[in-house]
Chains A and B, each alone.
Chain A
């Protein structure tokens, strides 16, 4: 390996070429790591040694950063463990803080990183790969050689330099800058550029091995060029800027791939459940152990419930089975009410109704939930032997998280003979309660992390990936259509066929009213504008079609059903005919 030492005294440059063995380079690097912050005397000569050191700085810095990240996470982990262990203070900001800029390709990188076991982490060949390679000593000699070439380039074209480094890299570079600030203005200002340029050069050379060292071809695969440039002046990139940067870019950089292009049918609820049944539950033994730990607390819960506290369970994993077990083991002989909060049509009124009707045997209606609550309160106060256990799964569900519902539930739970035990899952669930409600609820918090899948809880949720009840839509379509006149059916058919024809066009806005009218006339389905409108109104009332106005003010008609259902529907119709 050859190492060239360039020392320029004054304006004159003297070149020294020396052979240096790999070992020496290594030694040099190792030596320098210690005095990274060493301040060079302001001297006119630019020592290549310093470049080396700077490269060292860079890679060091990266290593440092990675190390710091690790430390940070480790401390986070410790912090997070603490509340379970001995409960020292954890700052909430560490857990979920502000939005920070992320690169688009990071997920894929992490995935491939995770896919390999931590020991043999192979770097993906993106821009990140270069950073990692630069870190390894074997390859560090190559960039060093490039630096030399770069020195000459730099002297002439210092100012025309166009930064192309990604933002993140720049951020890293900002840190060593601050320690070089004490150097002369000249070296400080150029050193930054040099660093960047080095980095860029290295990246170009490394990504395309044959590119000449001097070329300044801007790598095109890196996003945020403009952003990086804008940020160039700002040496300090602190949290505030990061925050605003993350929020300023309204454009979201994600790939345009959609699930439809994926060669995979959408699963419906049943097949999903079938499939999941086949998948073994991971760590069943450990989960069982966890559950047993929680179950040992049952008698304590009972005691505390009777002493006027209410119990709320939190933690990852479905707490449904746990509560069920609690119910079956301890509440068999007492009056209890189970509320499935995750059920999409649950309301406070239905909870109160079941209390008044089932528990209190009261027949009659109430004007408002408040009246009903008053009635319940009165009954419970009159009869102190009346006891009621209320189990609420997912107190924080969509339907129950409203302020009024929570108020009513809190008041209900504050009755001395109503014992409430509930579970929460949402990360922001505690925000539902203000001081007044909290004191009404009189919670005791129990962490019950179970890791069991939320089978029931999510089954009602409108997941994006699950095909939304296609069969239901189909049957409703046919039913509605049967009740219509043949003409109306024909009109709908026309629209459906047209929509299917255009299904490959992703920006299909719908069929414009005028065109549709024309088609209908041609098919002898309508004889006037008005009849078609009346027919469409009927469709709209049955939610068979949707209309929206385009940018040009034309009305577009659309059947809000996905294509496969529509195809099925048409096939069915054909069979009938």
Chain B
């Protein structure tokens, strides 16, 4: 669970990093706005994108930053707290005065009490407060936290952040802006609007007369997709954390992100859930730890845990490959098994390090190809590599073909990038690779020096290639090339290019083996995507639908088993009632329904119908029907209707 904290921290770092860039802008604005004409309120509009849930963090770090660097006076307003201008002012006053207390912390408590309980909040009292505060700070602690920007000023500005501008009532916003613009002389106010949709919303919400009072500067935050790639970069594509996501799981998380909410926070939540699930459900997850602790943990494994290891499918595959003596040893002696396990896990760690580096190299190659056969983002490439052996896919094939047609300058820069990546990685095996790549580079340079006449040819062919970017033509040229290769002698450059691509290919084949081909991958990889989807992206309606239509799915009783869409007459009451109501239109006659219901139920209970008197039986069925109907009402399938006596209205359609 230590890791979880780490992750959270990481997110915070990330967001604060992002918002720091904002706040630098912010700093500039404050500087810039202080010279503005005083009739206009300097305003910053932050366009943050649709991932509303992430805004909270961004704003929090923004206000923290502002508080530390520019001004202690920050008020943070949310639409749900401010249904009217009065509430808004109240909230504003409360926050400002509280934070003032926080900063100075030498005020007596009485003052707070008074300010909080004061109901009459007006701009003038705010100004009075501000004057008193600034005077005090000027006299008492003139060398307070001041950034360079506020040295021009006698007093720091008051920043008011509107977190979700779209949901504020128009009138409240207008009133507030008009009122505060009257007092801008006395009170240096800066507004920040958080905007989720588009900057146009300001003009839609505020009439011209109001928006002319604002001096708006627009800031665009990074898109949430960029956030996601940073997070994936820092969390997944790093050997730092031993815990890994399986291909399917990652796919699920990314799908939820892309198709449902664009929320980085939810992505993180899903990731956390994966960690929890993994450590909860996998008994061997104790071994999922940093390399440093590994030995200790492996040594402390109990016999049962060793048995668990032996039961892992990947380990069994591994055992089967060994010679018989070793097989016996692995399956019987715990100590030997432990040693072996440790070795394997270390191998796995090394594999990760190599994997990430080579993946990045491959990404360098594939991300610049036309049409992106292997995806633009590294996460797509990562998914592809996790799913199956990437070199067997068609996409990989075509991207290699395309890579064989790259021009020289691109190829050289790519190789240089690869060298950098490999050098920066911690893997030890790459010395050789780097040397090889460097050799290629020098060869390219030599080529340039020695062959002028050949270059002309290649340049012309390159030009041709650059012109044709669409796939059809590309394929055609590929075919032509194939033919010409047989007939024409290859130039030196082309030879070299093939060599490079083949080398990269060999790297990929060596290092990008999918994780589930590795022994003991179960310990580090979380792979049950179904659980994850069930918990994060549940489908309550489908569950209800299944339960009502096909009770056998839940209740394993032979009597309920039936083929196709019909259900047997022995099904639970609610299922029968539901099934019957599906046949009705907008309104359902209760009497008809009851009759149909009792027909079905009676038939279902025919064998013991004689035991009870028919009258009593009737009553019981009536009662059961009432229960079923009121349950359906609770579930929202029907509602009482006043259109006709003893009718209910149906609320759902289809389904049968």
Contacts and interface: CB of A to CB of B under 8 A. Distances in A.
Interface in A410-453: 424-430, 435-436, 438-439, 442, 444-447, 449, 451, 453
Nearest to B589: A254
A112 B566 CA distance: 12
A35 interface: no
A113 B569 CA distance: 10
A80 B146 CA distance: 62
Nearest to B598: A111
A102 B541 CA distance: 23
B184 interface: no
A427 B584 CA distance: 19
A97 B536 contact: no
A286 B585 contact: no
Given A80-B545, A461-B630, A275 B555 contact: no
A73 B656 contact: yes
Contacts of A106: 583-584
B566 A314 contact: no
Interface in B554-595: 554-557, 560, 562-570, 572-574, 576, 579-581, 583-595
B356 to A, nearest CB: 28
B249 to A, nearest CB: 12
B276 to A, nearest CB: 6
A104 B647 CA distance: 14
B602 interface: yes
A451 B547 contact: yes
Contact of A425 (B53, B589, B634, B645): B634
A379 B362 CA distance: 53
Contact of A451 (B266, B540, B551, B619): B551
Contact of B269 (A94, A435, A442): A442
Contact of B535 (A116, A259, A287, A445): A445
A145 B470 CA distance: 64
A554 interface: no
A107 B596 contact: yes
Interface string A77-97: 101110111110010111111
A74 B565 contact: yes
Given A254-B647, A436-B52, A466-B626, A314 B538 contact: yes
B630 A81 contact: no
A435 B54 CA distance: 10
Interface in B502-539: 529-530, 533-539
B273 interface: yes
B563 to A, nearest CB: 8
Interface stretch (A44-52, A303-311, A475-483): A303-311
Given A73-B656, A303-B280, A463-B626, A111 B600 contact: yes
Interface in A108-129: 108-118
Contacts of A86: 530
Contacts, number: 312
The listed residue with most A CB atoms (<10 A of its CB), out of B541, B562, B593, is B541
Contact of A252 (B534, B567, B585, B637): B585
Given A118-B568, A427-B637, A257 B589 contact: yes
Nearest to B559: A283
B601 to A, nearest CB: 9
Contact of B543 (A83, A98, A254, A439): A83
A101 interface: yes
A76 B623 CA distance: 31
Contacts of B553: 77, 80-81, 84
Interface string A130-141: 000000000000
A111 B261 contact: no
Size class of B's contact patch?
A: 35 or more
A534 interface: no
Contacts of A286: 554-557
A472 interface: no
B16 to A, nearest CB: 19
A77 B4 CA distance: 39
A90 B550 CA distance: 16
A106 B650 CA distance: 15
A315 B542 CA distance: 9
A435 B224 CA distance: 15
Nearest to A437: B53
Given A95-B545, A445-B536, A463 B557 contact: no
A107 B627 contact: no
Contacts of B52: 435-436
A106 to B, nearest CB: 4
Contacts of B627: 272, 276, 453, 458
Contacts of B645: 258
B620 A252 contact: no
A317 B633 CA distance: 13
B564 A254 contact: no
B596 A111 contact: yes
Contacts of A77: 546, 549-550, 553, 565
A464 interface: yes
Interface string B619-656: 11011111101110111110010011111100011111
B566 A114 contact: yes
A407 B79 CA distance: 12
A188 B497 CA distance: 65
Contacts of B546: 77, 80-81, 84
Contacts of B280: 300, 303
B596 to A, nearest CB: 3
7 contacts: A81-B546, A84-B546, A99-B653, A102-B583, A115-B599, A279-B624, A303-B276
Interface of B: 1, 4, 52-53, 80-81, 261, 263, 265-266, 269, 272-273, 276, 280, 529-530, 533-551, 553-557, 560, 562-570, 572-574, 576, 579-581, 583-597, 599-600, 602-604, 618-620, 622-627, 629-631, 633-637, 640, 643-648, 652-656
Given A73-B656, A76-B655, A111-B597, 7 more contacts: A94-B654, A107-B583, A108-B595, A111-B596, A246-B585, A259-B591, A279-B620
